[in-house]
Amino acid sequence: MKTLDGISLKEGFISGSNNLYNHYPEVDALNVFPVPDGDTGMNMNLTLTSGSKEIQNRNDKNISDIAKAFSRGLLMGARGNSGVITSQIFRGFAKGLEGLETVNALQLSNAFQKGVEVAYKAVMKPVEGTILTVIREASQALNEQVKESFSIEKCFEILIKEAHISLNHTPELLPVLKEVGVVDSGGFGLCYILEGILSGIKGNVIERKLATAVDNKQEETVEENVYQVNFILKSDIKNKKPVVDNRLIFHLKNRGLDDIELLHINDNDIQVKMRSKTPGLVLNFVQQYGEFLKVEVKNLSTKDDVAFVNKEEMLNNTPKEKYAIIAVSAGEGISNFFKELGVTQIVFGGQTMNPSTEDFVDAIKKCHAENIIILPNNSNIVLAASQACEVVGKDYNCQVVPTKTIPQGISSCVMFDSELSLEDNLSQMKEAMENVKSGSVTFAIRDSEIDGVKVKKDDFIGILDKKIVSSHRHQINTVMELLEKMVDDNSAVITLLIGKDCDSSLVEKVKNKISKLYPDVDLDIRQGLQPVYTFLIGVE
């Protein structure tokens, strides 16, 4: 075809999303570190899924409208650095198509060039040998070869061929890739997306394989016997379970059909609005957390409205706090620690599941404050948090303190002072963040050798500031060798966050050894209950 319209591009985008979905475990498997948290493929998959859902019911012939809608879906669903960069590539691509109904070969090439430009601007320190390199070199090669007479299919064939050439060259640009013997995972995922798009615009839309891992959310539609369930619950009652917002929401989602709206009316009363096919099971389950003050159940096949508290009205009539802090947490114990330190909203996520831009936007909108500070607490989440601040724009005064680990986030919280100005707080929190050494202990999922450290499958490995520095069969040896590289004469505090699968006898042994070896350093041990990592360690 000589020109591409919105209908064909929509089929291409959906096909590209599905092709990535079918192969994202292969992308995850390219994780450089031999640890059980490879998530590049999953992040890109969830990002693309969000984009394809945004356009699946649209039938715009105008290519600009489809590209813009797809970009919006990617933007809100973006997870991890790979997902955010992918969303920025197609954001620029959409800008390159702005105002056009159809595109020819030259216009298509220019749109990809615009995608490269926007993606590079979105990353503070672009690293070559990544997805950025692959899209840049492929787009540049297309730009140099394209002619007005080319078909759209030929453009994508050139783009895909050059993307693979660039991908195979990534180990020469990133030494760690060469050392481990893999290509860049983000670039690998991009190739699947482009191949799927080409198949789709040719009329052969790739379908999802049911055998691939289950998506993050189930899709449900309103049908008969679906109920709107609204209730106000009085919590903080003796012999009732304490309410932990995200845990309660997680369990309600298993009994509901879509997102749950939970609102704290005051210190003890919470309001919940949700849909469910089994309202009785919902209400029976919730009763273990408190007593109902009000319950309303409505069959959605009827036209009766359910009157309830309006969240916006309530917030508008309440004075804003000076500050709110949003922190990313990977475990219930860590979340409770952050709340003790004054964190207002917890966004659940971490290495194994990076929160999306939309997750941050939702958390921001729940904050009724003049100034909002976000602590991503993971290097792979900083971009999504920053992107969320851009999405909400001038409606909220949001700032990101770019914490890359949980210990950095904790130290930043300790330095927060509600009496100080925003500028002074940001300065103090960033300074505190930079004075923390962050370590972690997990297990290896394959044999590897990185930075001279030989790792055997099932070994326990110690990671210090994203470098593997220790590997042993016995976990206690790994912990102590890691600490040896973290603690120096200036160290004052060691914080140990214990993972949910960590044996209590091991914790006691570690505690005794630390107390003996480092008697002048304060030791703070807490149950973090984080997954994957048996220990998260901060040294200040």
Summary mean pLDDT of the chain: 87
pLDDT of residue 213: 46
Taking the C-alpha atoms of residue 540 and residue 490, their distance in angstroms, rounded to an integer, is 8
Which contiguous run of DSSP H or E holds residue 194?
helix 185-201
> Of 494, 495, 499, which Cα lies nearest the Cα of 527?
499
The answer to whether residue 161 scores a pLDDT higher than 50 is yes
CB contact set of 317 (below 8 Å; sequence gap of 6+): none
Instruction: Give the DSSP letter string of 87-140.
Output: HHHHHHHHHHTTT-SSB-HHHHHHHHHHHHHHHHHH-SS--SSSHHHHHHHHHH
pTM of the model: 0.72
Give the pairing type, strands 467-472 and 437-443: unpaired
**pLDDT one-digit tens code per residue, 497-508:** 999 888 889 999
What region, left, alpha or beta, does residue 342 occupy, with left being phi > 0 and alpha being psi -120 to 50 degrees?
Answer: left
pLDDT tens per residue across span 13-32: 999 999 999 998 888 887 76
Of the candidate CATH numbers 3.40.50.720, 2.60.40.1930, 3.40.50.510, 3.40.1370.10, the domain formed by 316-434 belongs to 3.40.50.510
Name the packing angle between helices 185-201 and 152-173 (round to 10°): 170
Topology given in CATH for the domain delimited by 227-300: Alpha-Beta Plaits (3.30.70)
Report the candidate in 398, 408, 340 with the shortest Cα–Cα distance to residue 367: 398
- Give the torsion through C-alpha atoms of 339, 342, 348, 353, to 10 deg: -120
Instruction: State pLDDT tens for residues 431-477.
Output: 999 999 999 998 888 888 877 888 888 889 999 988 899 999 999 99
Q: How confident is the model at residue 403 (pLDDT cuts 50, 70, 90)?
A: very high
Degrees (nearest 5) of the Cα angle 9, 13, 16?
A: 135
Domain residue extents for the chain: 6-201, 227-300, 316-434, 439-539
The CATH fold assigned to 6-201 is: 1.25.40
Decide: 503 and 517 in contact? Cβ < 8 Å.
Answer: no
pLDDT band at 147 (very low <50, low <70, confident <90, very high): very high
Q: Report the run of H or E that residue 454 belongs to, with start and end.
A: strand 453-455
Place of tokens 């003796």: 238
